[in-house]
Amino acid sequence: MFDERTCHKFGVCLSYGSGVALSGKNKLLIKRELISDPAVYRNVCPAKALVISGEEKSIADIIHEIEKDIPFYNMSGGGVTLTGGEPLLQGPDLKELIRILKEMGINVSVETSLHLPWEIIKNYVHLVDTFLADLKHLEADKFLKYTGGNSALIIENFKKLDETGVKFVVRVPVIPGFNFSYEELTNIIDFASGLKNASEINFIPYHSLAKEKYLMLGKDYSFGKHRNIEKTDLKQFAEYAAHKGLISKILN
């Protein structure tokens, strides 16, 4: 990620490959498609204008970090939440991590889009304590337009997950111009309330905090014109969900 506002043009990064260059206007250009190993740019910028987001860690490294928080888990009854991207696409390493966590007596939750083959999801049903599963939209065309995904796959996976009896929470990111309407949200709530084991639904209000990250990644932020959604905007939907028999929460 590159923050032009804090760049002092020291030029240290220019010697680390062809992915970073100066334009004729003495402006730093990041050509991400030319960068084969982003890690070489880690900690090279004295002004921290150029940073690498994310890093590779072994399972042992991750467990070492988790162990520091065990007193908090013991006090709160909480545990580890695996998130992403889509964590269930991480393969055998994820299963091994979960196996070790369960041996340590640590509760494991997974945040998932459920937008992947059921053959993968079912491998985690008896390993994960709670699935925190996104349900963004029920309408196929709109879901495809905004996410490039297949809403029918997610709906079918929700039904299959429900049949297993595993604990899961339905999470609804509420996005203006996408699903923030009475009809769309009540349809989602109606679907969730029809699932036997979905006792809880969470509403996640849209905010624009990602705008800065898009800027630093050289991407357009297409939702920049929308205001943040406030908790008060979602009160009626939380009440409707409660009326349908669901525990409903509006998250920060």
Please tell me the predicted confidence (pLDDT) of residue 173: 97
| Extents of the domains making up the chain | 1-56, 113-250
Beta-carbon contacts of 134 under 8 Å, excluding residues fewer than 6 positions away, are 111, 112, 113, 114, 154, 171, 172, 173
Q: Write the secondary structure of 191-233 as one string of H (helix), E (strand) and C (coil).
A: HHHCCCCCCEEEEEECCCCCHHHHHHCCCCCCCCCCCCCCHHH
Beta-carbon contacts of 103 under 8 Å, excluding residues fewer than 6 positions away, are none
Q: Worst-scoring range by mean pLDDT, 16-20, 97-101, 106-110, 239-243?
A: 16-20
Residue 224 in this model has a pLDDT that exceeds 90: no
Residue 79 in this model has a pLDDT that exceeds 90: yes
CATH of 113-250, one of 1.10.10.60, 3.20.20.70, 3.30.1490.110, 3.10.180.10: 3.20.20.70
Residues 33-47, mean pLDDT to the nearest whole number: 90
Q: Write the secondary structure of 31-91 as one string of H (helix), E (strand) and C (coil).
A: CHHHCCCHHHHCCCCCCCCECCCCCCCCHHHHHHHHHCCHHHHHHHCCEEEECCCCHHHCC
Residues 220-247, mean pLDDT to the nearest whole number: 94
The tokens 């304590």 sit on which residue? 129
CATH of 1-56, one of 3.90.550, 2.60.40, 3.10.129, 3.30.70: 3.30.70
* Sheet arrangement for strand 107-112: 79-82, 107-112, 130-134, 167-174, 200-205, 247-250
Cβ pair 95, 127 in contact under 8 A: yes
Cβ pair 251, 204 in contact under 8 A: yes
pTM, entire model: 0.89
5 versus 186: the higher-pLDDT residue is 186
The tokens 């997950």 sit on which residue? 161
In the chain, the N- to C-terminal Cα span, in Å, equals 26
Segment (H or E) for 92: helix 92-103
Do 1-56 and 113-250 show the same overall fold?
A: no
pLDDT per residue over 87-140, tens digit each?
Answer: 999 989 999 999 999 999 999 999 999 999 999 999 999 999 999 999 999 999
Mean pLDDT of the chain: 93
How far apart CA 251 and CA 81 sit, in angstroms, is: 16
Instruction: Report helix, strand or coil for 156.
Output: helix
Residue 223 in this model has a pLDDT that exceeds 80: yes
